[in-house]
Amino acid sequence: MNNYVWFDAIGWAGAAALLVAYAMVSSKRLEGDSAAYQVLNVSGSLLLAANTIFYGSYPSTFVNLIWAGIAVFSIATRKRVSSD
């Protein structure tokens, strides 16, 4: 398989993770501050960032890295609050 197929698959997996996260919160199956939601956000964003870096779409890379950073911050804050 060539690199394009791999990075397309990575991008589609990332898009699916973000859409599943959004659908689960919208249907009230997950809370917006839950760890599961944030893990879907982190993984989806990082996979999409890998895809956009490969294709040179740097504005999308920027958005996805910020999105992942927000999710990581949320997870870290959540763990700190629950351990206090």
**Would you say residue 24 has pLDDT above 70?**
yes
Calpha distance 36→47 (Å, rounded): 17
| Per-residue model confidence (pLDDT) at position 17 | 98
| Per-residue model confidence (pLDDT) at position 30 | 96
- Domain range for 15 is 3-83
**Who contacts 48 (Cβ-Cβ below 8 Å, separation ≥6)?**
11, 14, 15, 18, 60, 64
Flag whether the pTM goes above 0.85: yes
Q: What total number of domains does the chain contain?
A: 1
| Per-residue model confidence (pLDDT) at position 83 | 66
